Chain A
Amino acid sequence: KAGVTQTPRYLIKTRGQQVTLSCSPISGHRSVSWYQQTPGQGLQFLFEYFSETQRNKGNFPGRFSGRQFSNSRSEMNVSTLELGDSALYLCASSLGTLINSPLHFGNGTRLTVT
């Protein structure tokens, strides 16, 4: 069974640009969550999508947005990039049920903003 796939693995952007990251969940998983990981802040929750609807949202500005498609694949977009957005962005999928449904992570997209 294929794991969670994130593309691209690495991105370098300049301030003010926008970026789109992609995530393909494990087959059969309907929930996709996005996390930002930085050395100082650890794993910070961005948002979760389930059946094409945003179900949960973290405390990030509106520049961070996402969507989920009917095949459960998800994209995350960051507009007007800032230097502080440099981080490892992790996608995680799960069955999405309320219990017995652990997160399975992809290898992330390393975003560097210069």
Chain B
Amino acid sequence: GQQLNQSPQSMFIQEGEDVSMNCTSSSIFNTWLWYKQDPGEGPVLLIALYKAGELTSNGRLTAQFGITRKDSFLNISASIPSDVGIYFCAGQRTGNQFYFGTGTSLTVIP
């Protein structure tokens, strides 16, 4: 199935640094979602975005729904070791079909 373009593929950062990742598509989406997956677990919903231009925060996480509706961004401020994991974006068009990014693997070095 279709996958979204997510970058970067992996990141290695020092504890305390800020992190940015993004997701792009050639198609318009009505909803953008961001998930985090820990090893051996299922993805956990972090942030849901429903309107173009929307900026939403969840603690140290901030995500934005691009105004073109073809992209989304996730920022993590002041990273900590428990931020380690794989982050996925997902877009929803019509119906209940979701399309996922290929994931960004985040490693935080203490």
**A residues lining the B interface (CB < 8 Å):** 4, 6, 31, 33, 42-45, 48, 50, 55-56, 58-59, 90, 92, 94, 96, 98-108, 110
**B residues lining the A interface (CB < 8 Å):** 1, 3, 30-31, 33, 35, 40-45, 48, 50, 88, 90, 94-98, 100-103
Q: Which residue of B lies closest to A91 (CB)?
A: B42
In the complex the two chains form, what is the Cα distance from A108 to B50 in whole Å?
Answer: 27
In the complex the two chains form, what is the Cα distance from A58 to B2 in whole Å?
Answer: 10
Chain A residues in 8 Å Cβ range of B101: 42
Chain A residues in 8 Å Cβ range of B94: 98
Which secondary structure characterizes the binding site on chain A?
strand
Q: Is the Cβ of B96 less than 8 Å from the Cβ of A50?
A: yes
Chain B residues in 8 Å Cβ range of A107: 40-42
* Given contact pairs A45-B1, A103-B98, a sample of 7 additional A-B residue pairs in the complex whose CB atoms are under 8 Å apart: A31-B96, A42-B103, A45-B97, A98-B95, A100-B48, A105-B35, A107-B40
